[in-house]
Amino acid sequence: MDINFSAQDLEFRDEVRAFFASEYDANVAQGLSSGQGDDYKQAIVSWQKKLHAKGWIAPGWPKEYGGTGWSVTQKFIYETERGAAGIPDVVPFGLKMVAPVIYTFGNEEQKARFLPRILSSDDWWCQGYSEPGAGSDLAALSTTAEYAGDNYIVNGRKIWTTFAQYADWIFCLVRTSKDVRKQQGISFLLIDMNTPGVSVKPIPTIDGKHSLNEVLFEDALVPRENLIGEQDKGWTYAKALLAHERTGMAEVADSKRMLANLKQRAAAEVNGGQPMIADPVFQMRLSDIEMELMALEYTELRVFASMASGGTPGPESSLLKIKGTEISQSIHELQLQLAAYYGGALQGDLSNQQLGHSFAAEARKSYMYGRAATIYGGSNEVQRNVIAKAVLGL
Amino acid sequence: MNFEFSEEQVMIKDSVARFVRDEYDFDTRRKIIESDEGISRDFWAMFAELGWLSIPFAEEYGGFGGSVEDTVAMMEELGKGIVVEPYVSTVVIFGGLLSAASNEALKAEYIPKIIDGSCLGSFAFLERQSRFEIADIATSAVVSDAGFIINGEKTVVFNAATANSLIVAARTSGDQFDPQGISLFMVDATSPGISVDSYKTMDGQTAATVTFNDVQVSDSQLLGAVGQGMTIVDQVMPQILMALSAEALGIMSTLNTITVDYTKTRQQFGTPISSFQALQHRMVDTFMACEQSKSLLYRGLCAATEVAENSQAGSVELQKSAHALKATVAKYGKLIGEEAIQIHGGIGITDELNIGHYVKRLMTINVTFGDGDFHQKKFNQLSYSSL
């Protein structure tokens, strides 16, 4: 057993490092960390355009559609370096969620129409899956699409839609047939957000930010050519891609970076004159997380390695999702604990410098919004059901 | 990147698995434990014949020339059968220390005897006061005309009663806690002045209090340089921890399998209890616990490969991995053992069922060379003290 990198891999690592070092400068970093409003969208789009110009925007795609053609090892190196440099991952809805559905199940016109604009970040996508009455039980969704003439008439409500306020397009699961098993009457529909009858309502969250929305459809007319694959087969298409979505949720590289930051902060924060990093209880909490993360890193590598030898991510990707999100939450928790009193300050006009403990506000926000990680993408309870059924045969 | 066992390693695994399945059933094991010696000499001879006792040793001494990875492949399967024959004591620890030492004459004499099954060995290091700090040694080895004279008491010397030879850690200089000044001696277990008080342990093995009363040893029985014994111990420790953890992992996966299978057959409220979500999620957690532990074992093996290829680089990573592994196996071994008992219900606490016996071996492994908290503390020192 080894994780030896070849000379070529090491060369590739240096290239990735050099690219990040030169392109991901303080300006870009600042823009990507502010996290609000149109400036935030602009910062993300312009960073993703840089990656696109380099040809690195879609490592997960097949090469023929604009993927990088990297080996599994190269993908691992890229992710590791990205996380180590503190660079946020690309917004997943277009690049990692709808694009694989389009290039796997879409027709040639759809591929030609949508994929290039996803690669270039000219189209911003959001995901229309959950509904007020369909959360973990996603197949209970009731947004309807009635076929009439050359259009579907869509009515209903989607909820928890991240970044719908920025989106040009939404990919939706909609009900096209009733009176069949609930999974069988669902279709996969691409909807232009500018369609009359489509509206977006913000849902403020406990971190004080706006990323979630409700998306309403009132007699929205969607052309038939926006249907992916066959009508009533949408559940199959969506499900096929879920394992890919979960594999990405281990976020090992990001957690490693957060943990490294946390350690630095723990070395700077003192209690009774002693750095918190030297506090034996704090050390135990820290290493509980660090050892779990060291394990997850290799669990993920094992999944990658089996994918490299031809396997597809199976139910073990649920393990990555569960552990990955539990670990990132535990880092958020410890970071907020470190912020102590200052985690509660709603700073108003006070700068970080004036208040001190400059990470504290972000620590609170990460903690609060971070609670969502074990809920979205199939709650961790649902993931446990998946493993119970598919791995343990219970 | 490669996380597969080699073809050769898979053959070793299969051969041990076959032995456990066909020849080492629960009743056979019970009879061995209840026998006077507590081990089967016949099986030990068979291990020798199958080449299992030769695996980690260099080819120049008749060994198979294997790596820690080969040992680990073997240990995981031995764990599945909770095999009580002293493979860890003799091959991994006693043999490992001997191999890492610089005394060529001792190696040439003893390694072939380990391989042919005629030498059972044990490492006598622990003392009443020392708990997990190996360097806390009061047993003395004082220079004499003919070499050294050893005096002191060693406790919980695993498999001492069956061992022909002991490697004894004794202080040749320094105060009681000084890692410098400890020397390792190869001592014949029947040497004048040695007495062995043996007892059985909960995991079906034996241990002993061994006292040394003016035991005379010669210079040629020193494993390495005088006072440098801890260097040898430190060098071998990661592979000992990985071998023990691999054994534990074999036990953990077996406990999970037995438990999952049991819930599919046990009926309550008119349905198999495997259909209850309250139990399903707990079994998912124990499954994940086992996978995470396995990942740390593989991490350690990769670090060991790195160290083997480039003797300096990666040794801190190897130490950290080994501590993280032992600490995690302690935590998750406890979880898996306790969940196995709980999910089985009343039958889980009976002596008749195998579950409790697997759990007791896990408990022994946990305390061997440091429990979870000890290793986590070591991990913390390596990771955080420089920040």
Is B289 at the interface with chain A, CB within 8 A?
no
Give chain A's radius of gyration (CA, Å). 22
Specify whether the backbone of A351 is left (phi greater than 0), alpha (psi in -120 to 50) or beta. beta
| Domain C-terminal end among A234, A259, A283 | A234
Look at residues A234, A261, A285 and tell me which one is the last residue of a structural domain.
A234
Contact B260 A76 (CB under 8 A): no
Cβ proximity of A66 and A115 under 8 Å? yes
What's the domain count of chain A?
3
Which residue from A1, A3, A291 is facing B328, i.e. has the nearest CB? A291
Confidence at residue B72, expressed as pLDDT on a 0 to 100 scale: 96
Tell me the C-alpha distance between B217 and A108, whole Å: 84
Cβ contact A296–B306 (<8 Å): no
pLDDT score, position A197 = 98
Q: Looking at the structure, tell me whether residues A170 and A219 fall in a common domain.
A: yes
Instruction: Please name every residue paired with A127 in a beta bridge, in sequence order, or none if there are none.
Output: A171
Quote the CA–CA distance of B376 and B382 in Å, as a whole number: 10
Note whether residue A366 is domain-resident: yes
Collapsed DSSP state (helix, strand, coil) of residue B142? strand
Nearest-angstrom CA–CA distance, B285 and B288:
5
Shared domain for A266 and A196, answered yes or no, is no
A394 and B263 in contact by Cβ < 8 A? Answer: yes
Torsion of the alpha carbons at B354, B358, B363 and B366, rounded to the nearest 10 = 180
The gap from C-alpha B45 to its chain's centroid, in whole angstroms, comes to: 20
Given a cut of 70, the residues of chain A with pLDDT beneath it are 35, 243-248, 313
Pairing of strands B182-188, A270-271: unpaired
Nearest to B387 among A277, A284, A392 (CB): A277
**Residue A1 with chain B: CB contacts under 8 Å:** 2-5, 69, 298, 301-302, 305
Q: Does A4 touch chain B (CB under 8 A)?
A: yes
- Asked if B190 is an interface residue toward chain A (Cβ–Cβ < 8 A), one would say no
Give the DSSP letter of residue B2. Answer: B
Q: Are residues A327 and A256 in the same domain?
A: yes
Answer yes or no: do A175 and A229 share one domain.
Answer: yes
**Contact at CB, B1 and A297, closer than 8 angstroms:** no
Q: Is residue A108 part of a domain?
A: no
Mutation target to probe the B interface, by most B beta carbons within 10 A, among A12, A71, A73, A294 is A294
CB A320 within 8 A of CB A246: yes
What sign results for the dihedral spanned by CA atoms A211, A215, A221, A227? positive
Give A 249-288 residues with CB within 8 A of chain B.
263-264, 266-267, 275, 277-278, 280, 283-284, 286-288
* ipTM of this complex: 0.96
User: Tens of pLDDT along A97-142?
Assistant: 999 999 999 999 999 999 999 999 999 999 999 999 999 999 999 9
Q: What is the CATH number of the domain that holds A225?
A: 2.40.110.10
CA distance A232 to A175: 8
Size of interface A-B (CB pairs under 8 A): 134
B324/A contact by beta carbon, under 8 A? yes
Instruction: Indicate whether A116 belongs to any domain.
Output: no
Which of B295, B335, B379 would you mutate first to test chain A, the one with the most A CBs within 10 A?
B295
8-state DSSP, A6: P
Neighboring chain B residues of A296 at a CB cutoff of 8 Å: 292, 295
Q: Is residue A308 part of a domain?
A: yes
One domain, residues A255 and A215: no
A370 and A270 within one domain:
yes
Q: In terms of residue numbers, what domain contains A214? A: 124-234
Q: Which residues of A touch B1 (CB under 8 A)?
A: 2-4, 72-73, 76, 301, 304-305, 308
Residue A298's CB is within 10 A of a number of other CB atoms, namely 26
| A217 to A143, A202, B290: CA distances (angstroms) | 8, 15, 46
Q: How far apart are CA B183 and CA B172, in angstroms?
A: 6
Kindly state whether residues A176 and A275 are assigned to the same domain. Answer: no
- Strand ranges inside A160-286, DSSP E: 169-175, 186-192, 198-203, 212-223, 227-228, 270-271, 274-275
Give the CATH number, domain containing residue A366: 1.20.140.10
A 82-121 → B contacts, CB under 8 A? none
Integer Cα distance of A89 and A86 in angstroms: 9
**Nearest CA distance, B260 vs chain A (angstrom):** 7
User: In chain A, which residues have their Cβ closer than 8 Å to the Cβ of B264?
Assistant: 393-394
Residue A67 lies in a domain: yes
Q: Minimal CA–CA distance to A126: which of A159, A154, A104, A87?
A: A159
β-strand pairing of B121-124 with B165-171:
parallel
Same domain, A150 and A210: yes
pLDDT mean for each 10 residues of chain B (387 residues): 88 96 97 96 98 97 95 97 98 98 97 98 97 97 96 98 97 96 98 97 97 97 97 96 98 98 98 98 98 97 88 82 98 98 97 97 98 98 90
Q: Which of A81, A131, A245, A300 is catalytic?
A: A245
Nearest to B340 by CA among B267, B292, B287, B272: B287
User: Are residues A261 and A381 located together in one domain of the fold?
Assistant: yes
Report pLDDT digits (tens) over A200-240. Answer: 999 999 999 999 999 999 999 999 999 999 999 999 999 88
Assess whether A109 carries a catalytic annotation. Answer: no
End of a domain among A203, A234, A265?
A: A234
CA distance A390 to A361: 41
Q: In this structure, is residue A98 part of a structural domain?
A: no
Q: Measured between CB atoms, does B93 come within 8 Å of chain A?
A: no
Task: Residue A392: list chain B partners with CB under 8 A.
Answer: 260, 280, 283-284, 287
Please name the residue of chain A whose CA is at the shortest distance from the CA of residue B285.
A384
The reply to whether A102 falls in a domain is: no
Residues A266 and A219 in one domain: no
Rounded-to-integer distance, Cα B307 and Cα B68, Å: 12
Q: What residues contact A160, with CB distance under 8 A and at least 6 apart?
A: A130, A203, A212, A376
Is B322 at the interface with chain A, CB within 8 A? no
Contact A1 B328 (CB under 8 A): no
Distance CA(B136)–CA(B177), nearest Å, equals: 4
State the pLDDT at residue A248: 67
Strands A270-271 and A274-275: antiparallel
Q: Which residue carries 């969250």 as its tokens?
A: A205
Its pTM surpasses 0.90: yes
Q: What is the dihedral of CA A377, A382, A383, A386, to 10 degrees?
A: -130
* pLDDT of amino acid B161: 95
Indicate yes or no: CB of A295 within 8 angstroms of CB of B383: no
Q: Do B376 and A264 touch (CB under 8 A)?
A: no
Q: What residue in A sits closest to B72 (Cα-Cα)?
A: A1
Query: Residues A326-347: pLDDT tens digits?
Result: 999 999 999 999 999 999 999 8
User: What domains are defined for chain B?
Assistant: 7-120 (1.10.540.10), 122-227 (2.40.110.10), 230-384 (1.20.140.10)
Whether A185 is covered by a domain: the verdict is: yes
Residue B34 — φ and ψ, nearest 5°? -80, -10
Cβ of B306 under 8 Å from any chain A Cβ?
Answer: yes
Whether A210 and A269 share a structural domain:
no
Give CA–CA dist B283/B258, Å, rounded: 11
Write the residue in A4, A287, A292 that is nearest to B383 by C-beta. Answer: A287
Judge whether B260 is closer than 8 Å to chain A, CB to CB. Answer: yes
Whether the CB of A73 is below 8 Å from some CB of chain B: the reply is yes
A302 and A373 co-located in one domain: yes
Radius of gyration of chain B (CA): 21
